[in-house]
Amino acid sequence: MTRRPAATSIRKRVAVTTAVAVLAAGTFVAGAGVAGADSRGSSAKKSAKTATKAQVLGLFDQWNAALQTGDPQKVADLYAKDAVLLPTVSNNVRTDRAEIVDYFEHFLQNKPVGTKVESVVNVLDHNTAIDAGVYEFALTDHETGAKSTVKARYTYAYEKQPNGTWLIVNHHSSKMPEG
């Protein structure tokens, strides 16, 4: 896979990571201006098509459909090579494909079905977007068959790859504090 030049990629990744952190803190307004800057200049912005909010929302549907396959490899395919996953039901930060696959091997045993409750999408530029909000997972215990629901906050940071595919570069999900 061909990547953008290292300096541009690092600046863009730092901007996206900063925006994700600010969103998680509940103060996105402070970070949006920084993260929204296109480090390659305005001519690149004019020549590339910017994703719509509906397209970004559709990326969750694609991810949720991958969960339904029960195949952790298919889910991991939606994450960039150097993505960071802060998962809902694990205390371990996942920073490479093997760790992400490992998380989904266990999570998928409970047959999760995700439903968004609330979403806020910010299209930062033609190559980066953030989707943050609240979702619920209907789970079925793989040993007992007992059903449960986990409500969680989430943030997905997406980056458009040179081939036009959108991949997750940062995914944070945490159970709601009140339950």
The whole-model pTM stands at: 0.74
Strand ranges in 9-141 using DSSP code E only, listed in sequence order:
79-86, 113-125, 128-140
Q: Are 18 and 24 in contact (CB under 8 A)?
A: no
Average per-residue pLDDT in the chain? 82
Section 114-119 average pLDDT: 97
Task: Report the first-to-last Cα separation within the chain, whole angstroms.
Answer: 42
Contact between 173 and 154 (Cβ < 8 Å): yes
Residue 176, Cβ neighbours under 10 Å: how many?
11
Q: Over the stretch 18-59, which tens digit does the pLDDT of each residue have?
A: 444 434 433 333 333 333 444 444 434 434 688 999 999 999
**Higher per-residue pLDDT: 104 or 2:** 104
Furthest-apart CA atoms within the chain: distance in Å: 57
Q: Please report the domains of the chain, with CATH numbers, ordered by start residue.
A: 50-175 (3.10.450.50)
